[in-house]
Amino acid sequence: MTVLNDGWFTEVFQDQGTAFSLQVKKKLHEEQTEFQKLEIWETETFGNLMVLDGCVMLTSRDNFLYHEMMTHPALFTHRDPKKVVIVGGGDCGTLKEVLKHPGVEEAWQVEIDERVTRLSEQYFPELCESNTDPRANFFFGDGIQWIRDAVPESLDVIIIDSTDPVGPAEGLFALDFYRDCMIALREGGIIVQQSESPLLHTNTIIKTIHDDMKKAGFDHVRTLPFPQPVYPTGWWSCTMAGKEKPVVYFREEDADQRPFVTRYYNADIHRGALAMPQFMVDVLEDEVMSSER
């Protein structure tokens, strides 16, 4: 039986009976912040690695998949997003993607743990290169309260870029929070949330998000799967909903002619991500397949 020695960082997903390991050169940083244990490792092949409370958050090598898919489908679904809020997203990777859209006038990153952002500036500078953009705004504090205090009908897109629905992020996977999002969104507004693994969580977390978003008044809810090698099963998703309109339509031509570089996202990938695996269709019982044609 292979036993990994001290040269490896291993995350054990005990409930799921799986584990994922990255070969590491050294630990670059470790601290207990006000909210969580934060580690930064230098890996052999995935660049730098950020770990929160023992869970892999991101690596330099493959975070582009997650950050692009948390951002561009939502922003190209909205007809003209001007004000965008990221709840969580302390590593600034989503903020960077949002600010690639020239039409965005104001972007807020509302992260509870300022240390995540400070360490990201140091160890993931490529994700923070838009932090000095005059359109970028930072608030370090409670995202639930921030959304509750937002001026009604003042936001175009809300991106919920959080950790798993346990601990500090639990309240971000909740009906009350979605209701506050609904109030804060302008007409045509879009909400998008990271929604865990299709293989592991379709019947649980993803189904609950769909139900709760619908209860909060979002008529059309869709889950978009995408690859994310360092997360459990290597397969992740975001769930997107619109205040009024179906989210299966997007500005395809704008996506195709986007004036910025992406590594995963393009208009075809966006269209492709709107296709749900048959087992998800069966569980989520959406008006899915027919509305797409």
How many residues form the binding site for a copy of itself (CB under 8 A)? 55
Check binding of 122 to a copy of itself (CB under 8 A): no
- Cα separation, 9 vs 240, whole angstroms: 33
First to last CA, the chain: 50
| Contacts by residues 98-102 (CB-CB < 8 Å, ≥ 24 positions apart) | 98/71, 98/159, 99/130, 99/133, 99/135, 99/136, 100/130, 100/258, 100/260, 101/75, 101/260, 102/259
> In the set 42, 275, 283, 286, which binds a copy of itself (CB under 8 A)?
275
Check binding of 151 to a copy of itself (CB under 8 A): no
Check binding of 30 to a copy of itself (CB under 8 A): no
The site map against a copy of itself for 200-239 (x = CB under 8 A) is: -------------------------x-xxx---xxx----
**Sole window of 118-126, 174-182, 213-221, 261-269 interacting with a copy of itself (rule: CB under 8 A):** 261-269
Q: How does strand 155-161 pair with strand 48-52?
A: unpaired
User: Residue 161 catalytic?
Assistant: yes
Q: Which is nearer to a copy of itself, 216 or 273 (CB)?
A: 273
Backbone angles phi, psi at 81, to 5 degrees: -70, 125
**Sole window of 11-19, 161-169, 179-187, 215-223 interacting with a copy of itself (rule: CB under 8 A):** 11-19
Query: HSE of 139 in the Cβ direction (CA atoms, 13 Å)?
Result: 15
Q: How does strand 55-59 pair with strand 37-43?
A: unpaired
Q: Interface with a copy of itself by CB under 8 A: which residues?
A: 1-6, 8-12, 16-23, 43-46, 62, 198-199, 225, 227-229, 233-235, 256, 262-269, 271-279, 281, 288-289, 292
